[in-house]
Structure 1
Amino acid sequence: MIGSISPLGQQVLTTPTSILPETASVASGAVGNSFAAALADAAAQTAASLRKAEQLSAAGIQGKADTREVVDAVMSAEQALQAAIAIRDKIVSAYLEVSRMGI
């Protein structure tokens, strides 16, 4: 990440486009992803992982999917869900900490 100083004296971190993965979405032509875009992308990936695990589980019950594929998909979905919960907890904790600050 490359850091710069904004006019208000706050450090701003941006990611050069040359190191972004091809699948990364750049919001409204900006050089770096916004925090909201990153969260939306992470949430979409987590939901897709959960959806895939659910579909493979149903296919496994019907005998149409290999047991290993089902287990891999469910484990991946579990890890994605745990990461999403950890991120949510950190955001809530940060919000509570900021709300307790004196003005």
Structure 2
Amino acid sequence: MIDSIQSVRSFSTSALTETATENTVAGSTLQSALAPSAPQPMSFAQVLGDMATDAVNALKLSETKSFEAVQGKASTREVVDAVMSAEQALQTAISIRDKVVTAYLDVARMQI
């Protein structure tokens, strides 16, 4: 499960690299043409990739804390906090996945 979430991050990184390559104009990118003080908006793929990375990190932390608790190195509260955080991240990822699938099915059913 964790490996499949990490693959989303690698996909978004490669998509961003391809987009940056396509946006090159006469040796300078469109980004450099903008004012340096202007904040750069995040792409949807980047937001999803960051969220997937955060979910993976929460799951790994939860697993680590669980093993530390078995070894007697972590308190019950630390374990519960880590597991609750991982559960929330996983539920969010599942919810977003369901919304994306629903949106895809809606688009697929559209008449042209």
After TM superposition, the score normalised by the length of structure 2 is 0.65
In structure 2, the residue matched to 1:11 is none
Which of 94, 106, 112 matches 1:97? Answer: 106
Greater Cα offset, 30-39 or 49-58:
30-39
* Greater RCO (CA < 8 Å, at least 6 residues apart): 2
Tell me the equivalent position of 2:11. none
Structure 2 SS opposite 1:32: coil
Aligned residues: 77
The alpha carbon displacement at 1:52 in A equals 0.2
Residue of structure 1 equivalent to 2:56: 47
Q: Which runs of 5+ in 2 are unaligned?
A: 1-15, 21-30, 32-38
Deviations 1:11-63 (A, max 9, x none): xxxxxxxxxxxxxxxx7658210000000000000000000000000000111
List alignment gaps of at least 5 residues for structure 1: 1-26
Partner of 1:38: 47
1:4-83 correspondence runs (5 A): 29=31, 31-83=40-92
Hey, which of these two has a bigger chunk of helix by percent? Answer: 2
- Which amino acid in 1 is paired with 2:92? A
The CA deviation string for residues 63-103 of structure 1, in whole angstroms up to 9 with x for no partner, is 11111000000011001100110000000000000011111
SS of residue paired to 1:31: coil
- Give the structure with the higher percent strand: 1
Moved over 6 A (4+): none
Q: 2-side partners of 1:36 and 1:52: how far apart?
A: 24
Secondary structure class of the residue paired with 2:111: coil
**Take 1:100 and 1:35, find their aligned partners in 2: how far apart are those partners?**
23
